[in-house]
Each structure stands twice: as structure tokens, then as C-alpha cells.
Amino acid sequence: MCGIVGYTGSQSAIAPLIEGLRRLEYRGYDSAGIALGTPGKLFVQKRAGKLSNLESELIQTLPSATSGIGHTRWATHGGPTDRNAHPHLDNEGKLAVIHNGIIENYTELRAMLEARGHKFESETDTESVAHLLSDLRKTSHGDLAAAMREAVKSLRGSFTLVAIHADQPEVVVGVRRNSPLVVGLGVGENFMASDVAAFIDYTKRAVELGQNEVVTLTPTSVEITDLDGNAITPREYSITWDSSAAQKGGFSHFMLKEIFEQPKAVADTLIGRLSGSGDIVLDELTLSDNEIRELKKIVVLACGTAYHAGMIAKYAIEKWAKIPVEVELASEFRYRDPLIDSSTLVIAISQSGETMDTLMALRHAKANGARVLAVCNTNSSTIPREADAVLYTHAGPEIAVASTKAFLTQVIAVYLIGLHLARIRGVMDRSEVKAIFDELGELPAKIEQILETVEPLRALTRNYTNSTSVLFLGRNVGFPVALEGALKLKELAYMHAEGFAGGELKHGPIALIESGTPVIAILPAGHEHGLDEKMLSNIQEVKARGAHVIVIAQEGDEVPGAEHVIRIPKSLPLLQPILATVPLQVFAYEMAVARGNDVDQPRNLAKSVTVE
């Protein structure tokens, strides 16, 4: 959600702050602001709306400052106004705070602080922290880090906080609790941000921060402590991608670029995952073979697009490994007293590794004795750190809010998990595992083939720009694909879209069909259970009621009655989601462009949902 940047060094702070905020625009926001570390009284400027609104205000002569903090806000407490934008100040104008997350006890804090004489200027929960820090700094002999430690002890909720004070403008202090914050290590300068993308132009050296750890930056030092002031040794790691990966590279939108990066992302996620003897190699998987054999069930936890990857996991793992799989919305999981124990493996799927609903569900699962395996795209993020094991995908940075390549690599990851479980549990032998892995290895070239022939689909999409609703049909493993196609269209085109299991049409959804309604159907691969024939019957049912039918079908499959057929290469039936999803991504993208929407930053949405 909110984007956070902090800088202290020898150069002007404006460029690192503004460039950092621009790199974090993908997270979703509705206002932006900065505070510069000027002695005596901080310079603060903030504006509602896009970052360009703030930049236009900064054209005026700016004070010289070599430190500062910047923020893009996604509104929670208080509307998206100039007054509610971050940073927030104490009454002296000397201390500024930026914040990601929610302070749950802010009303009590505000009442206490107002009783002490503090005057509030905004409707936010964040401002209470600025006033609290101001008081605590005075009782901590001017030590901002000490004040931050004391403040955090009295705060409830999930948050990242970053603060600066005019009396020591070169010092930037931050803390995280259930919300992302990472440090960048430069030469004569240091950085703080909610995502490494903010400082990737300046350094590839980063330091991860744990729960309730307070970090103090100066141009030449990084100090980390726990809330009792005990020193913690920095845990440094290298960023493996460069700034070009976070640029559009000639594409009109990040989303389109990321759609076309999918062949490489899938290939990278598969690299090194099959040993010479035919076993799946999952280096980050610490579960022993005996533990895997003793599992009684698997529970997959995820939200949004990742939830659809989890649904595909159920089909693959149950078929290959013969173990029951439940798929749960992470946001609902811990509120129904789920039945899990030490014989349960929980698979938590999150692109960012910071999805708050999934993190809290993970903690609930661990508290009840389950082992947790994370599937994640972001190294050293919270969910992998708290899981018992992790399988990293290699999608690279995904900037567009609507997920594309992260989704495909999540599906690849759960396929690998399914094959590994099947091999260890003795359900499949090495030759069977290798045969399916070889089929996985052909998917990048097949995705490339789809993308090379995508222009007719883009032109076709524009015919439906004025439609009010689009329905998606799938069966078996095609059902989660239908749900994902509908979600993408909702996110990007701001139109009604629903995904249905084909067999459910006659149980209610067919009432939605009227003359001209676009219906996109995913024709099942192969002839298992006669599902292809059943879907063809579904197509005839909606056509008879006036629908315009677009069918995603394998090369060579007969599709009578469809107005349009989008061809994808042949694959194993369980692997079809990887290929069938790509045209649906393009359809949603093109529909959004045709309707004049902001493709990379859809309204009301954030890339990483870091609050419950």
C-alpha cells in the first residue's frame, strides 16, 4: 500500500526522494508528500492526487537539504486530502512522521495528547504518533531512536514508521511491525524504503529488518536495535535485479511489459529444479521426507490472484500426490476455528510476502501446530521469514498492480510442490516426474507463441468496449482460470465480470445472459471425464440466449458455435491454466486501455495489501 522513502547522505535529498516515490507509485496511493531535514524547522510539502501534483509544487526554490523522508498514501483514516497527506508534524514543526499501516489505539492516544495541549491538524491515525514522539523525544534527552522505541511499546496495530527531526536532520529513524521496511546501504549515504525498488538506482546492498526492530540511519552508519535498545547485527543481502527491470522498456504500460516477460519468468522459476536423477530440487524446502509422508492434508492460504493459484494447486497436488487439499481465503481462515494440527502442511502464497491477511493466517496456522511452506516472489519479506520453508518464484519485480507474471510463476511453483510430494510419497516414480517436468519446460516457448499471435485478440477486445458485463466459464482446472480472467477485468476495466464453473450455469447464472453478452469459455484440454463435450454444451446454452461466445481452445480442437476462437498450444490438461490465462490477461489489458483507464494503477487498489 503506502510507499515510504527515507534518505540521508551528502547529495541533495530531493532526487532520491522523488525518484523513490515514483518507483513506488505501483503500490497504489492517493496523495504524496515529503519532509526535508532543514535545521530549525522542517520543510514540508504534500498534495492530494498523483505525485505530479506534488512535483508541480516543488518547482519553486527549495531549501538545501541532504536528508528527508517521502510518502505516497493510500487513505485509511481520513479522506485523500492535502491535510491528511503525509508527512505529519508535531506542533513545533520540527518532527515529521510517515506511516504505512493502521494504529488501532489512535483514538485513545489522540484523547490523551489533546488533554496535554497538542493541537491536531488532520483526521489520520498517523498524526497521533507525531505528537507522541515529540513528547517522548523530550523525555529521552533528544534521542529520536529512544523515543521511537518507547512509542512503539504503546502502539497497537500493524505499521511502518519513519521519522526525522530538525535538531538532528541527518538522522532518519524507522521501525516495522507487520509491515515492510528495508534499508539500502550506499557509500556516504543510506536509504530506507518500503520496497528496494525505491533505491535500486543507487545501491544493490540491502539490509532486512525484523519485527519491532528500530533502525537509525546517518550518512555513514546503520544501527539496529530491539525495543529494549539491544544492538542487532544487520542482516545484509544483495538485490539480484537492476533498475532496468523496473522500467517500461519501450512498452506503453508496465502490465503489458510484464505480460511479455512471462516466458522468461516461467523459465527462470523452473531453472535448476530437476536433478540429474529425476528428482524435483526445492532447495528452500526444509521438510524431511518422513514429515512429508506423514502429512494428512494440505491447506492453501492466499488472497486475490494468489487464491486462484491455490485453487489450481488443489487439482495438481490431489491428482499427483493423492493427498487432500483445502484452499482457503486467508482473510477468512482464522475466524472459523479451522481444524489443523502437526499433520497439516499449510502453503501460504503471496507475491510480496507482506500480504497482511495471509501473514496473520500463517501465524494462526503455526500456533496450531501446522508446518508452513511459503510461495513468494520477494526475498527476505515477512511471510518467507516466518514460514518453516519457502519456495521462491523468480518473476522479478512486478510493478503493475494487476498481477500477471507473478501469478503464472505461483502456478509453476505449486506444480513443483505437487511433483515433489508425489515423488516422496511414492505415488509417482522418477520417470513420471521427469515426463511432466519436461512438459513444464516447454511452456515458456508456448507462452511466447501465444504472445506472437496476440494482435487479433487485442483488436477483437475493442469490439466489446461498451459492454456492461462479461462472463467467464471454466470446468475443472479451467474454473480458477475463469475466476482469474474475471478478476483481471474487474480490476482494470471497472466493469461487471464473473467467473463460473460451467456446470453451475443452469443453477442460476444463466439468468444473466441477454442478447450480446460476451461470454469467454475455456475449453478443457483433452477428453478426460468428457469435460470438453460438457463445455461445448454450455456454449450452446448461452448462445441460444443471445450471448457472443469467445472460446479459448487448444490447436486442432473443434469448437462449433463460437463467434471467435483464440487458439493456444496443446499441453497436458493440468498445465493448461498457464497457457489459457495469457489471452485473458491481454483481454483485460486491452479493455482497460480502450476504456481510458489507468492500467498500471487501477483506482482504489494497492499492489501489496498490508492492512487487514
CATH code of the domain containing 428 = 3.40.50.10490
Q: 493 and 575: one domain? A: yes
Domain containing 200 equals 3-245
Is 607 designated active site?
yes
Same domain, 298 and 402: yes
Annotated catalytic residue within 2, 257, 405, 434: 2
- Give me the amino acid identity at 321: A
- pLDDT value at residue 247: 72
Residues 490 and 394 in one domain: no
Q: Are residues 204 and 275 in the same domain?
A: no
Residues of the chain short of pLDDT 70, as ranges, are 1, 26-28, 241-246, 249, 606-612
Same domain assignment for residues 467 and 516: yes
Extended beta strands in 334-475, E state: 344-350, 371-376, 389-392, 469-474
Domain assignment of residue 74, yes or no? yes
Q: Is the pTM of this model over 0.85?
A: no
- Could you tell me if residue 610 is inside a domain? no
Judge whether 612 lies within some domain: no
Q: Which residue of the set 46, 94, 257, 607 is catalytic?
A: 607
Task: Report the distance separating Cα 137 and Cα 115, nearest Å.
Answer: 18
Is 10 contained in some domain? yes
- Of 245, 272, 299, the last residue of a domain is 245
Query: Does residue 543 have an active-site annotation?
Result: no
Is residue 157 within 8 A of residue 102, CB to CB? The reply is: yes
Measured between alpha carbons, how far is 268 from 111 in angstroms, rounded to an integer?
53
Exposed / middle / buried, residue 341 (Cβ in 10 Å: 0-12, 13-18, 19+): exposed
Looking at 441, 474, 490, the residue that finishes a domain is: 441
CB atoms closer than 10 angstroms to residue 556? 7
Question: Quick one: which of 312, 294, 283, 282 has its CA closest to 369?
Answer: 294
38 and 168 in a single domain? The answer is yes
Q: How far apart are CA 230 and CA 412, in angstroms?
A: 42
Give me the pLDDT at residue 242, please.
67
CA atoms of 349 and 334, how far apart (whole Å): 16
Residue type, 14: I
Distance of CA 393 to the CA centre of its chain: 13
Judge whether 448 lies within some domain: no
Q: Do 276 and 317 sit in the same domain of this protein?
A: yes
Does one domain contain both 424 and 476? no
> Which DSSP string corresponds to 309-373?
HHHHHHHHHHHHH---EEEEEHHHHTTS-----TTEEEEEEESSS--HHHHHHHHHHHHTT-EEE
Does residue 326 fall inside a structural domain?
Answer: yes
Give the Cα separation of 319 and 312 in Å (integer). Answer: 11
- CB of 264 closer than 8 Å to CB of 274: no
Q: Are residues 565 and 477 in the same domain?
A: yes
Q: Residues 237, 350: one domain?
A: no
Domain identity same for 231 and 280 = no
**Residue that terminates a domain, selected from 420, 441, 462:** 441
Q: Which of 260, 240, 180 is nearest to 585 (CA)?
A: 260
Q: For residue 537, what are the contacts with CB-CB under 8 A and spacing of at least 6?
A: none
Question: 155 and 105 in contact (C-beta within 8 Å)?
Answer: yes
8 A C-beta contact, residue 569 and residue 537: no
Number of structural domains the chain divides into: 3
Q: What is the predicted pLDDT for the residue at 525? A: 87
Residue 510, amino acid = I
Is 415 inside any structural domain? Answer: yes
The pLDDT score that the predictor gives to residue 583 is: 97
Helix and strand numbers (H, E) in the chain are: 19, 25
Residue 492 lies in a domain: yes
Q: Report the CATH number that the domain containing residue 64 is assigned in CATH.
A: 3.60.20.10
pLDDT of residue 511: 84
Strands of the 43-48 sheet, one edge to the other: 43-48, 31-36, 67-73, 3-8, 190-193, 182-185, 205-208, 235-238
Give 277's strand partners.
none
Burial class (CB in 10 A: 0-12, 13-18, 19+), 289: exposed
Q: Over the stretch 191-214, which tens digit does the pLDDT of each residue have?
A: 999 888 899 889 999 998 888 999
Helix (H, G, I), strand (E, B) or coil at 9: coil
Claim to verify: residue 284 and residue 430 sit in the same structural domain: yes
> CA-based angle 132:137:140, to the nearest 5?
130
Query: Which three cell numbers, joined as nine digits, stand for 73?
Result: 498514501
